[in-house]
Amino acid sequence: MSLMSWGMYPKIKNSVFKFNKNETLKQIINEHDDIIPYGNGRSYGDSALNSNIINVRPKDYFINFDEESGLLHIQAGVLLSEILESYVPRGWFLKVTPGTKLITVGGAIASDIHGKNHHVEGCFSECVQAFQIMLADGKVVTCSKDATPELFKATCGGMGLTGVILDAKIYLKKINSQYIDQTTIKTKNLKETFEAFEEYKNKPYSVAWIDCLAKGNKIGKCLLMVGDFRDDGKLNYTKKKQKSIPFNFPSFALNNLSVKAFNWLYYGKAKDGVSKQRVDIDTFFYPLDAICHWNRIYGKNGFTQYQFILPKETSYQGLEEILAAISKSGKGSFLAVLKLYGKTNDNYLSFPIEGYSLALDFKIEKGLFDLLDKLDEIVVKYEGRIYLTKDVRVNKDTFEKGYPHIETFRQFRKNNKMDRKFQSLQSKRVGI
Amino acid sequence: MSYVLIIGAKSDIAKATAREYAKHGYDLYLAARNSSELEEFVKDLITRTQQTVKLIELDILDYKSHQAVYDQLEEKPLGVISAIGYLGEQEKAQSNFEEAQQIMDTNYTGVVSLFNIIADDFEKRRSGFIVGISSVAGDRGRKSNYIYGSAKAALTAYLSGLRNRLYDAQVHVLTVKPGFVATKMTEDMDLPEKLTALPEAVAEDIYSAQQKNKNVLYTKWIWRWVMLIIRNIPEWKFKGMSI
What's the CATH number where A207 sits? 3.30.70.2520
User: What's the first-to-final CA gap in chain B, in angstroms?
Assistant: 47
Q: Are residues A241 and A118 in the same domain?
A: no
Could you tell me the CATH number of the domain that includes residue A414? 3.30.465.10
Residue range B50-57: average pLDDT?
98
The reported pLDDT for the residue numbered B184 is: 83
The reported pLDDT for the residue numbered A157 is: 98
The residue of chain B nearest to residue A19, with distances taken between CA atoms, is B184
> Is B146 annotated as catalytic?
no
Provide, as residue numbers in chain B, all residues whose Cβ is less than 8 Å from the Cβ of A63: 40, 43-44, 47
Q: Are residues A66 and A102 in the same domain?
A: yes
Q: Are residues A426 and A329 in the same domain?
A: no
Inter-residue contact B85 to B133 (CB < 8 Å):
yes
* Strand A355-363 with A303-311, pairing: antiparallel
Provide, as residue numbers in chain A, all residues whose Cβ is less than 8 Å from the Cβ of B47: 62-65, 86
Provide, as residue numbers in chain A, all residues whose Cβ is less than 8 Å from the Cβ of B23: 85
Provide, as residue numbers in chain B, all residues whose Cβ is less than 8 Å from the Cβ of A61: 40-41, 43-44
The reported pLDDT for the residue numbered A249 is: 77
- Assess if residue A379 is contained within a domain: yes
Task: Report which of B151, B66, B174, B173 is spatially closest to residue B117, judged by C-alpha positions.
Answer: B66
Contacts 24+ apart (CB under 8 A), A100-103: A100/A42, A100/A286, A100/A288, A100/A289, A101/A285, A101/A286, A101/A289, A102/A40, A102/A42, A102/A289, A103/A39, A103/A40, A103/A42, A103/A79
Confidence check: pLDDT of A267 > 90: no
Residue A242 is classified by DSSP as: P
CA distance A164 to A227: 36
CB contact under 8 A, A61 and B40: yes
Q: Which residues, other chains included, contact B97 with Cβ-Cβ below 8 Å and sequence gap of 6+?
A: none
The reported pLDDT for the residue numbered A289 is: 86
pLDDT band at residue A253 using 50, 70 and 90 as cut-offs: low
Residue range A216-232: average pLDDT?
93
Q: What's the number of CA atoms in the CB half-sphere (13 Å) around residue B111?
A: 31
Inter-residue contact A336 to A208 (CB < 8 Å):
no
The reported pLDDT for the residue numbered A329 is: 87
The reported pLDDT for the residue numbered A125 is: 98
State what percent of residues in chain B have pLDDT above 70. 100
Q: Are residues A126 and A234 in the same domain?
A: no
Inter-residue contact A99 to A115 (CB < 8 Å):
yes
In angstroms and rounded to an integer, the radius of gyration of the C-alpha atoms of chain B is 18
In angstroms and rounded to an integer, the radius of gyration of the C-alpha atoms of chain A is 21
The reported pLDDT for the residue numbered B104 is: 98
Inter-residue contact B155 to B82 (CB < 8 Å):
no
The reported pLDDT for the residue numbered A263 is: 66
The reported pLDDT for the residue numbered A231 is: 95
Give the count of Cβ contacts less than 8 A between chain A and B.
Answer: 24
CB contact under 8 A, B48 and A62: yes
Among A4, A55, A60, A61, most B C-beta atoms within 10 A, so best to mutate, is A61
Q: How is the beta sheet containing A355-363 ordered, strand by strand?
A: A274-280, A179-186, A222-229, A205-210, A336-340, A355-363, A303-311, A385-386
Range of the structural domain that residue A298 is part of: 179-402
Q: Are residues A380 and A313 in the same domain?
A: yes
Among B15, B46, B47, most A C-beta atoms within 10 A, so best to mutate, is B47
Cα–Cα distances (Å) from A306 to A184, A359, A375, in that order, read: 25, 6, 9
CA distance A426 to A304: 14
CB contact under 8 A, B47 and A85: no
Inter-residue contact B112 to B56 (CB < 8 Å):
no
- CA B9 to chain A, closest CA, distance in angstroms equals 15
Provide, as residue numbers in chain B, all residues whose Cβ is less than 8 Å from the Cβ of A86: 47-49
Q: Which residues pair with A173 in a beta bridge?
A: A93
Q: Which residues pair with A148 in a beta bridge?
A: none
Q: How many domains does chain A have?
A: 2
Q: Nearest Cβ partner of B47 from A1, A62, A85?
A: A62
Q: Are residues A134 and A282 in the same domain?
A: no
- Assess if residue A301 is contained within a domain: yes
Q: Where are the alpha helices (DSSP H) in A200-275?
A: 256-269
Q: Which domains does chain B have, with CATH numbers?
A: 3-238 (3.40.50.720)
Q: What is the pLDDT of residues A326-369, one digit of tens each?
A: 888 888 676 689 999 999 999 999 999 999 999 999 999 999 99
- Assess if residue A5 is contained within a domain: no
CB atoms within 10 A of CB A30: 12
Inter-residue contact A127 to A91 (CB < 8 Å):
no
Q: What is the pLDDT of residues A73-88, one digit of tens each?
A: 999 999 999 999 999 9
Q: What is the pLDDT of residues B161-205, one digit of tens each?
A: 999 999 999 999 999 999 999 988 887 788 888 899 999 999 999
* Strand B216-219 with B172-178, pairing: parallel
The reported pLDDT for the residue numbered A259 is: 66
b (16+ CB within 10 A) / e for A116-125: bbbbbbbbbb
Provide, as residue numbers in chain A, all residues whose Cβ is less than 8 Å from the Cβ of B50: 90
Q: Which string of DSSP letters, residue by residue, matches A130-146?
A: EEEEE-TTS-EEEE-TT
Residue range A290-307: average pLDDT?
88
For A102, the 3-state DSSP assignment is coil
CA distance B116 to B106: 15
pLDDT band at residue A251 using 50, 70 and 90 as cut-offs: low
Provide, as residue numbers in chain A, all residues whose Cβ is less than 8 Å from the Cβ of B190: 1
Q: Nearest Cβ partner of B47 from A1, A63, A85?
A: A63
The residue of chain A nearest to residue B191, with distances taken between CA atoms, is A1
Q: Which residues pair with A280 in a beta bridge?
A: A179
CB contact under 8 A, B48 and A64: no
- CA B243 to chain A, closest CA, distance in angstroms equals 21
The reported pLDDT for the residue numbered A216 is: 85
- Assess if residue A20 is contained within a domain: no
* Strand A128-134 with A140-143, pairing: antiparallel
Q: What is the pLDDT of residues A133-173, one digit of tens each?
A: 999 999 999 999 999 999 999 999 999 999 999 999 999 99
CB contact under 8 A, B193 and A86: no
Q: Which residues, other chains included, contact A148 with Cβ-Cβ below 8 Å and sequence gap of 6+?
A: A141, A142
CA distance A33 to A298: 34
Q: Which residues, other chains included, contact B98 with Cβ-Cβ below 8 Å and sequence gap of 6+?
A: none
Residue range A196-204: average pLDDT?
94
CA distance B28 to B17: 11
Q: What's the number of CA atoms in the CB half-sphere (13 Å) around residue B223?
A: 22
CA distance A12 to A49: 8
Inter-residue contact A32 to A67 (CB < 8 Å):
no
- Assess if residue A236 is contained within a domain: yes
Task: Report which of B61, B81, B73, B119 is spatially closest to residue B5, judged by C-alpha positions.
Answer: B81
- CA B117 to chain A, closest CA, distance in angstroms equals 33
Q: Are residues A381 and A286 in the same domain?
A: yes
Confidence check: pLDDT of A184 > 70: yes
Among B108, B148, B158, B207, the active-site one is: B148
Q: Which residues, other chains included, contact A290 with Cβ-Cβ below 8 Å and sequence gap of 6+?
A: A240, A242, A243, A282
pLDDT band at residue A246 using 50, 70 and 90 as cut-offs: confident
Task: Report which of A53, A57, A20, A15 is spatially closest to residue A37, judged by C-alpha positions.
Answer: A53
The reported pLDDT for the residue numbered A256 is: 66
Q: Which residues pair with A79 in a beta bridge?
A: A104
Task: Report which of A118, A125, A43 is spatially closest to residue A347, judged by C-alpha positions.
Answer: A125
- The burial class, CB within 10 Å (0-12 / 13-18 / 19+), for A135 is buried
Q: Nearest Cβ partner of B43 from A63, A85, A86?
A: A63
Confidence check: pLDDT of A105 > 80: yes
Q: Are residues A143 and A244 in the same domain?
A: no
pLDDT band at residue B65 using 50, 70 and 90 as cut-offs: very high
Instruction: Report residue B204 CA to chain centroid gap.
Output: 14
Q: Is A91 on the interface with B (CB under 8 A)?
A: no
Residue range A103-131: average pLDDT?
97
Q: Are residues A170 and A191 in the same domain?
A: no
Q: Are residues A50 and A192 in the same domain?
A: no
CB atoms within 10 A of CB B89: 14
CB atoms within 10 A of CB A14: 18
Q: What is the pLDDT of residues A311-322, one digit of tens each?
A: 999 999 999 999
- Assess if residue A55 is contained within a domain: yes
The reported pLDDT for the residue numbered B28 is: 98
The reported pLDDT for the residue numbered B1 is: 58
The reported pLDDT for the residue numbered A260 is: 67
The residue of chain B nearest to residue A2, with distances taken between CA atoms, is B190
CB contact under 8 A, A85 and B190: no
Q: Are residues A115 and A153 in the same domain?
A: yes
The residue of chain B nearest to residue A82, with distances taken between CA atoms, is B48
Q: Are residues A89 and A196 in the same domain?
A: no
| Average model confidence (pLDDT) across chain B | 96
CA distance A379 to A385: 7
Residue range B193-218: average pLDDT?
95
| Average model confidence (pLDDT) across chain A | 93
